Structure 1
Amino acid sequence: MVVTSFSESPMATQADYDRLSELKAFDETKAGVKGLVDAGVSQVPRIFIQPPDDFTTGDTEFSFPVIDLQDMNTDPDRRKEIVDMVRDASETWGFFNVVNHGISVTVLEEMKNGVRRFYEQDTEVKKQYYSRDLERKVVYNSNFDLYKAPAANWRDTFYFLMAPQPPDPQELPPAFRDILIEYKDEVMKLGFKLLELISEALGLKANHLKDMDCAEGLAMLCHYYPACPQPELTMGTTKHADNDFLTVLLQDEIGGLQVLHQDQWVDVSPMPGALVINIGDLLQVNSMYYVLHYFV
């Protein structure tokens, strides 16, 4: 890999900077951001430099919601409390942490370790999965929007379409094949629970969203954020909205996630064994439809 093929100086003039050529040079290595770090890059290449106004610090005024799912299926009174908390967190934040969700810490830790095993193996092994064909069910690359975004994010990603028609297990990387399948099954179970709670929070029957096939699909994204030599110049993930029904986020212990709440960015500190739930845009639109339907 030839690192010097990228302009590393933030002060490079526009005449010296052919962005498309640098994007292609980076992409064609099929080594991702991890490849840059392994090659010893000492400055962030210009294609990754974010506009200054994209950086913000977290606010400590707010307390991020945490919902304990313990006894949700055995104690009717406790379930009502949980439904009320889900309703409140969904309306006011669109995000919340869940604990006692049914997925063991062992599975969560092994999933994170498996992702690290994949990214930390030899580049030549990883290259066989590298693609920009998003029709594939198994895709590894760096920045799905590399050629469209104003600046690339400092991360690599493995994408899996795991439901309703999962890939052949042999298509999955051996580095974390077994745990990926196990984690997928556990997340699907948790998704069913959450959709029941959200349905009830909307005043509907517990199976309503599942009966609408909201739980049929499952896409999994495994992000990897290598150490950055100039973290003040770039970001692992820039601000965005998720166009999904429901997103389950497994954070590493390093953290770094922020959510926008009351026009302020709030840090979501990692909690051991917790999962972050994101009420996606599609579910918010779907929820609004039911609010109008039942109250107008």
Structure 2
Amino acid sequence: MASSSLPAPAPAPGRAELLKAFDDKRTGVRGLVESGVSSVPELFRHPDPYGSIPLAPPGASIPVVDLSLPPHLAAAAAASAARTWGFFHLVNYHHALPAAADAADDYPARAFAAVRAFNELPAAERAPHYSRTTGGVNYSSNVDLYNSPAASWRDTIQILLGPNRCPDLADRIPAACRAEVLEWEALATAVARALLGLLSQGLGLRPEALEDASCADGKLMVCHYYPHCPEPERTMGLVPHTDPGVLTVLAQDGVGGLQVKHQDEDGKISWVDVKPVPGALVINVGDLLQIMSNDKYTSVEHRVVMNTREEPRLSIGIFFSPGKRGDSVFYGPLPELVSSENPPKYRNFTMSEFYGTFFSRDLASKALLDNFKLSS
């Protein structure tokens, strides 16, 4: 009898093929959960998700800045938090809002409910929105999916709110959350303007200095949805990173997971839980504000850890950055903060160079500021 041989098994798909197969489904991490996965796929497994840096004791917390305080006291508190932590909770922020916004605490809750509703639509209704080309709005999983060594357990609606806002931007936002996220944008922008004024005063400058210098009408909103994870110890919601912009205004729901890296007065470094505070926003300094303040304010690493709860986590962040762009518009340390005794620590650059450097690397890379530092 003639011998027969079985065909050689097909080679296992490589990482690039697996990434493309995941992306081509157009349903994100939520789609994995819907499919009933009981373990985290290899693409999402981080070799050492939570590293060797310890968690801070339970009582540790980021500072609180109260906008109901007299302006000079609020400015001092915001400046102190920006110098020592780079993060703070903002309470009584309705003091920065238009008088008509009389139910300010309800606005983030409405936006969360709407974003959750979109993410929990049937897969066939979400998929048409899934894209990696922005066009002003896109829904996808992991902005650095093809650059990072391991993907994170989240999906995101990303909305480019300026500069050069698309005339039909509202029509491109999924109808399930359109009105609510645009409503929240208007209020968060008022909060950001008030904070830039306080942080300017904290540097000894006129209140308009930071906003005039940064023209912080470059706005990007990210609506993050972190589905329930079957193996939270194997992956992350967001890897450690710093935000590139001037200022970030973040609303987070009650699930928790955000952590900030902090070095105390004794030099000890730990991760500090940013536990949700009802009625509070989370504010953090971005890389551009650290540069503009000539290192007076600090942009610090933060991450999102997975939790064992059955419910998803939601957060909505707006990154404020300079709206003036172009090859003849340069940014760097504010001239008012530079002297022979305090020379500039960073060189000047354009926004195209800055963001070109940011998007050419994976999110976890810590080298962004180093690209613009002057040798001492």
Change (3 A) 1:229 1:191: same
Distance in 1 of aligned mates of 2:284 and 2:162: 19
Instruction: After TM superposition, give the deviation of residue 163 of structure 1 in Å.
Output: 2.4
CA displacement 1:188-237 (0-9 Å, x = unmatched)? 11111011011111111111112124321110000000001111100111
1:53 deviates by 5.5
Is 1:59 matched up with 2:51?
Answer: no
State percent identity of aligned pairs.
43
Deviates more, 1:204-213 or 1:276-285: 204-213
Contact 1:108 1:273 in 2 (8 A): no
* Structure 2 counterparts to residues 122-133 of structure 1, below 5 A: 122-133=122-133
Q: Which moved more, 1:96-105 or 1:113-122?
A: 96-105
Once the 2 structures are TM-superposed, how far is the Cα of residue 129 of structure 1 from its aligned partner?
Answer: 1.5
How far did residue 40 of structure 1 move? 0.3
Q: Deviations over 1:98-120 (max 9, x none)?
A: 01111611111001111101100
Equivalent of residue 87 in structure 2, options 95, 108, 114: 95
In the TM superposition, 1:129-278 aligns within 5 A as 129-134=129-134, 136-167=135-166, 168=168, 169-262=170-263, 263-278=269-284
Deviation readout 1:245-278 (Å, 9 max, x if unpaired): 0001111101010001002111110001111001
2:195 aligns to what SS in structure 1?
Answer: helix
Report deviation, 1:241.
Answer: 1.0
Question: Does the residue aligned with 2:171 lie in a helix, a strand or coil?
Answer: helix
8 A contact 1:138–1:160 mirrored in 2: yes
Structure 2 residue identity aligned to 1:292: V
Q: Distance in 2 between matches of 1:228 and 1:165?
A: 37
Equivalents in 1 of 2:87, 2:61: separation in Å?
12
CA–CA separation in structure 1 for the residues paired with 2:142 and 2:36: 20
Native 8 Å contact 1:159 1:220 kept in 2: yes
Question: Structure 2 CA distance, aligned partners of 1:137 and 1:294?
Answer: 43
Match of 1:279 in 2: 285
TM superposition shift of 1:54: 3.8
The yes-or-no answer on 1:69 pairing with 2:54 is no
More helix by share: 1
| Pairwise CA RMSD | 1.7
The answer (yes or no) to whether the contact 1:138–1:161 under 8 Å persists in 2 is yes
Structure 1: 5+ residue stretches without partners: 1-14, 72-77
Q: Which amino acid is 2:86 matched to? A: G
| TM-score computed with the length of structure 1 as normaliser | 0.88
State whether structure 2 residue 10 is matched by structure 1 residue 26: no
In 1, Cα distance between the equivalents of 2:215 and 2:246?
7
Q: Which moved more, 1:146-155 or 1:100-109?
A: 100-109
**In structure 2, the residue corresponding to 1:115 is in which secondary structure?**
helix
Find the residue that maps to 1:224 and give its secondary structure.
Answer: strand
Q: Which residue of 2 aligns with 1:7?
A: none
**Paired amino acid for 1:277:** I
1:260 partner SS: strand
Alignment partners' CA distance in 2, 1:163 and 1:24: 30
User: What is the SS of the residue equivalent to 2:157?
Assistant: strand
Aligned mates of 2:205, 2:129 — CA distance in 1: 43
Q: Flag the 1:295–1:189 CA change in 2: closer, same or farther, 3 A.
A: farther
Q: How far 1:38 sits from its partner (Å)? A: 0.5
Pick the structure with greater CA Rg.
2
Contact 1:89 1:96 (8 Å CA) reproduced = yes
What CA deviation, in whole Å up to 9, does each residue of 1:50-105 have, x standing for no partner?
0215446531253310111015xxxxxx2111111111101100010101111611
Q: In the TM superposition, what whole-angstrom CA distance separates every residue of 1:9-46 from its partner, at most 9, and x where no partner exists?
A: xxxxxx84621111111000001000000010111100
- Equivalent pair of 1:58/1:258 in contact (CA under 8 Å): no
Q: Which residue of 1 aligns with 2:338?
A: 292
Deviation of 1:165 (Å): 3.5
Partner of 1:5: none
Structure 2 residue 33 is matched with structure 1 residue 37:
yes
Letter in 1 for 2:85: W
CA displacement 1:155-206 (0-9 Å, x = unmatched) = 0011001123334221111101111111111011111101101111111111
Higher normalized contact order (CA 8 Å, seq sep 6+, divided by chain length):
1
Asked if 2 retains the 8 angstrom alpha-carbon contact of 1:244 and 1:282, the reply is yes
